[in-house]
Structure 1
Amino acid sequence: MADPCKVLITGATGYIGRRLKDRLLNHPELALRLLVRNRHKVRPEVLARVEVVEGDTFSPEALAAALSGIEVAFYLIHSMGSGQDFAERDRQSAVNFRDACIAAGVKRLVYLGGLGVKESASRHLLSRIETGELLSARPESLQTIWFRAGIIIGAGSASFEIIYNLLQKLPLMVTPKWVTTRTQPVAVDDVLAYLEAAIAVKVQGDLVVDIGGEAMSFREMMLRAAKVMGLRRLLLPVPVLSPRLSSFWLILFTPIPYRMAAALVEGLKSETVIQNDHAQRHFPEITPRSYESAVQAAIAELEQDLVISRWCDSSTEPFCDILHQDNPGAPILRDRREIPLHGLDRSLVYAAIKGIGGAEGWGAYNLLWQIRGFLDKLSGGYGLNRGRRQQKELRMGDALDFWKVADLKENKRVLLVAQMKVPGKAWLEFDIQDDRLVQTAHFHPRGLLGRVYWYAVLPFHELVFKNLAEKIVAQAANKSVAPRG
């Protein structure tokens, strides 16, 4: 029996990486290795089936360990919305990874980038093009298969969540004139099929493969998705809606934060259509599904609460990464609440903790949470409408409104790190101790403003945090009562 083909996935906790990893685990002829910044974001059942190297593409040691013995390496990293120096970081990351692949003797590098041409590309699309060029700049030493996709349609993708939220919330939309710009959306499952097939495809030399479905305008995308959802929507293009105003429009009605919204809006002004026929020529077994079929599949995943990954899963984004409470010398301010459990089963309390937020809200004072979320949105943060991947289950790295899951211990502890705009760092901890639930808000203030902020919101803590802890215990108590026959 032949030795398994060793495959490395970078970005394995991101939107595409999570799904590709799950897909490739179905192939016993493959041996998977993941390069991740935090191994705890990988599900325990997956950890038992893969190798994991902690680190990133800026660590030579981590790259050497991750690429040792690898035959095919997937590069699924980009810096959407992450600071002014994102292009330089993308360039350095690509060069580091390419050179490490060559040093390790990797046979094939597979990259997923974006459609577009340099002359009209936005800054972020241009960075993705430059990344592909850098990764494939040494064809004599490393073969590169470079996929270029437009808007990806799938449950949890940023583009689909924008479309879905706008259509659900707004019967009438005033839109920018560039809604007539053409693109070629592609279903996330089709993207995964191409990436999967790239492992064994017989091709000589480097290859650039443009993938996508039918060409259409963004206006057509919205109206056709509305029809699939059984909605009637009216779009009115106007010439005066600037990119900045469009970005604010998105953050008010969708889960997307301002920096990402601004990057997406900038990209929507550029035509992103297929430039070659390499997908049909080299991957004839893959037939891209229709746009309507992709939308239907995404909605089904949402309705069945089976969303595998979301746009905010990526560990390369500063607003999505997990921050740790590991500085013992730092001044930490705390708001601690203890609620007796009166013999309640710990598993019921733990389940109630995991069910907070999202559609369930945050207790009797949910309006105060919503106001805080609205203010957070206005300041460029997430706000509450980011929601959650699934309503009853949490995993390490999941988004939970404007929190992120930083730690989980079964029937014991849930730790959330705040991703709202605050002058410092904040965590919300739920710890089941003996016969009580201990709920603690931790805050590491940044300067005088941080301390002023903490004491200004303390009166609201008395309402919202006390009620939240009581709600959790009450829900667990209700579950413990056997239904009457």
Structure 2
Amino acid sequence: MKVLLTGSNGYIGRRLKQKLLEIENINLRLFVRNKKTLSSNIDKNIEIFEGNSFDKDSLKKALGGVHTAYYLIHSLNSDDYKNLDKISAQNFIDVAQECGVKRVIYLGGLGVKDENTSKHLLSRIETGEILSSSNEVQTIWIRAGVIIGSGSTSFEIIRHLTEKLPIMTTPKWVNTKAQPIGVDNVLEYLVDSLYLDYDKNLTVDIGSEQLTYKDMMLQTAKALELKRVLIPLPFLSINLSSYWLNLFTPVPFSVAKALIEGLKSEVIKQNDNAKKYFPQIQPISFFDSVKKAIKEIEENQVISRWSDNSGVIWDKDHSKEINSAIFFDRKELDISNISKEKVYKSFMSIGGNNGWFDFDFLWEIRGFIDKIIGGVGLKRGRRDQHKLRIGESLDFWKVVDIKKNERLLLYAQMKVPGTAWLEFKIENNKLIQSAYFYPKGLFGRIYWYSLIPIHYLVFNNMIKSIVKNAKK
């Protein structure tokens, strides 16, 4: 069976790709915007097609000869995502029908259409309706609510709030009911949908036990062996709640607001099709899902994170933009007496729990300021404390290029009046560390000049510390 996987760099997509590679009787094909975003150790037997769902020609190439296609696409990073999601879904199902695809498997969200339905959830529902509109292509629509797993948005929010706040003043939405589900169970439903003996469109609502968000936070505290007190305050608005999440969790304000708006309505199962059509799958409890997620984090086994596919700035070559940067700070050190592999390993481990060397407090201050003004801040950390891959987040940076034993290029995702990059490069027995900045207007120039003394301290210390660590 030839199977197409879209969204293979997303939180679910990366994990599903691993599961599908373990199945011997399918030929896996990936549809990606840019091949560079795939791991360097990707299976050589996988077919890879570049393109996007707004380009029908690239869709036709990717869907040609495909039996089943997974649709894990959304445009949440765009302000116009609701309209873009509709266009994307319609293009996909039209081309799938034209190419003779037999089945589309879509992962959407639990919920119903009413006056409380958030814009984000409504978009997910409308996407499912469009994909289910074909008379010739069967769609299996899996609907999940709160997905719990290491690196998932929901888990990261609940975990950070629980770890950092012994006493939490919470808005009334903490009493909203939901049916969370572990990410491993989600993957089971997606994989088993390949072989489901059913030929009509089917909507399958999945989830474990019904819990309020208050229940989830208290159970998370128990799993973390912490004691926590929650005090609901009915006057906390959506905006205030969003700022609260923005400050104490890794999610930026825009994501926090979209999530809070969605918490006005319950996300519970509307049908019993999971038990009827997938009786072999037994959803594990919320508490056990949390324990498993914590263990993966502690053992550095996080496969994917919600933030690693945010933004599309790694889809292009940054060389031209970097060359046009008006300001730059460059430091060089001789490394002729150290192996390139050790130097490379040293700068590839920067950030996250490993920190930014002797001036961590300055990075923390910059991260806090970024959070205050609606940026991503430092709390995203890094997925793995030793390895990086193109497209994933690293504190308030995005990894946009990696050349083994040669180069690491980071793109700044913090709020800055312009565009910034940080590059580490090994060349001619030298480590070259460069910060590039393209200012936006007068304020951008003032911003750069005001930071020169701090840059002098931070960047000098950084390159020396990288070399010092490489010598160990």
TM surpasses 0.5 = yes
Residue of structure 2 equivalent to 1:135? 131
State the 1:322 CA deviation.
5.0
Residue of structure 2 equivalent to 1:327? 320
Sort the Cα spacing of 1:322 and 1:456 in 2 relative to 1 into closer, same or farther, 3 A. farther
Residue of structure 2 equivalent to 1:271? 266
Residue of structure 1 equivalent to 2:441? 447
CA distance in 1, matches of 2:156, 2:443: 35
Say if 2:435 is the partner of 1:438.
no
Give the SS at the match of 2:231: strand
Match among 158, 166, 178 for residue 153 of structure 2: 158
State the 1:451 CA deviation.
2.5
Residue of structure 2 equivalent to 1:52? 48
State the 1:61 CA deviation.
1.8
The answer as to whether partners of 2:313 and 2:400 remain within 8 angstroms in 1 is no
Say if 2:140 is the partner of 1:145.
yes
Give matches, 1:251-266, under 5 Å: 251-266=246-261
Q: Supply the AA of the counterpart residue of 2:470.
A: A
Give the SS at the match of 2:451: helix
CA distance in 2, matches of 1:100, 1:220: 44
State the 1:339 CA deviation.
1.4
State the 1:434 CA deviation.
2.7
Residue of structure 2 equivalent to 1:110? 105
State the 1:15 CA deviation.
0.1
CA distance in 1, matches of 2:263, 2:458: 40
Match among 283, 289, 297 for residue 294 of structure 1: 289
Say if 2:375 is the partner of 1:378.
no
Kindly provide the CA deviation profile for residues 91-141 of structure 1, in whole angstroms up to 9, marking residues without a partner as x: 111111111111111100000000000013211001100010011111x11
Match among 86, 89, 95 for residue 94 of structure 1: 89
Sort the Cα spacing of 1:386 and 1:268 in 2 relative to 1 into closer, same or farther, 3 A. same
CA distance in 2, matches of 1:436, 1:326: 20
State the 1:86 CA deviation.
1.3
CA distance in 1, matches of 2:446, 2:317: 23
State the 1:450 CA deviation.
2.5
Sort the Cα spacing of 1:320 and 1:150 in 2 relative to 1 into closer, same or farther, 3 A. farther
Structure 1: gaps of 5 or more residues: 479-485
CA distance in 1, matches of 2:313, 2:108: 20
Match among 347, 350, 354 for residue 348 of structure 2: 354
The answer as to whether partners of 1:6 and 1:70 remain within 8 angstroms in 2 is yes
The answer as to whether partners of 1:323 and 1:417 remain within 8 angstroms in 2 is no
Match among 407, 420, 424 for residue 413 of structure 1: 407
State the 1:326 CA deviation.
3.7
Give the SS at the match of 1:430: strand
State the 1:47 CA deviation.
4.8
The answer as to whether partners of 1:214 and 1:290 remain within 8 angstroms in 2 is yes
State the 1:168 CA deviation.
0.9
Residue of structure 2 equivalent to 1:236? 231
Residue of structure 1 equivalent to 2:221? 226
Match among 210, 215, 220 for residue 215 of structure 1: 210
Residue of structure 2 equivalent to 1:19? 15
Residue of structure 2 equivalent to 1:125? 121
Residue of structure 1 equivalent to 2:451? 457
CA distance in 2, matches of 1:149, 1:157: 13
State the 1:321 CA deviation.
5.1
State the 1:325 CA deviation.
1.2
Give matches, 1:183-202, under 5 Å: 183-202=178-197
Match among 27, 34, 40 for residue 30 of structure 2: 34
The alignment's C-alpha RMSD in Å is 1.4
Say if 2:59 is the partner of 1:63.
yes
Residue of structure 2 equivalent to 1:397? 391
The answer as to whether partners of 1:312 and 1:320 remain within 8 angstroms in 2 is no
Give the SS at the match of 2:208: coil
CA distance in 2, matches of 1:76, 1:158: 16
State the 1:395 CA deviation.
1.2
Kindly provide the CA deviation profile for residues 409-433 of structure 1, in whole angstroms up to 9, marking residues without a partner as x: 1111111111111122211110012
CA distance in 1, matches of 2:74, 2:314: 14
Give the SS at the match of 1:390: coil
Sort the Cα spacing of 1:22 and 1:332 in 2 relative to 1 into closer, same or farther, 3 A. farther
Residue of structure 2 equivalent to 1:475? 469
State the 1:446 CA deviation.
2.6
The answer as to whether partners of 1:340 and 1:436 remain within 8 angstroms in 2 is yes
Give the SS at the match of 1:264: helix
CA distance in 2, matches of 1:293, 1:319: 34
CA distance in 1, matches of 2:437, 2:182: 41
Sort the Cα spacing of 1:149 and 1:262 in 2 relative to 1 into closer, same or farther, 3 A. same
CA distance in 1, matches of 2:316, 2:394: 15
Sort the Cα spacing of 1:377 and 1:323 in 2 relative to 1 into closer, same or farther, 3 A. farther
Residue of structure 1 equivalent to 2:170? 175
State the 1:54 CA deviation.
1.4
Residue of structure 2 equivalent to 1:481? none
Give the SS at the match of 1:198: helix
State the 1:45 CA deviation.
1.8
CA distance in 2, matches of 1:216, 1:467: 49
Sort the Cα spacing of 1:463 and 1:323 in 2 relative to 1 into closer, same or farther, 3 A. farther
State the 1:457 CA deviation.
1.8
Give the SS at the match of 1:174: strand
The answer as to whether partners of 1:319 and 1:419 remain within 8 angstroms in 2 is no
TM-score between the two structures when normalised by the length of structure 1 = 0.94
CA distance in 2, matches of 1:54, 1:469: 37
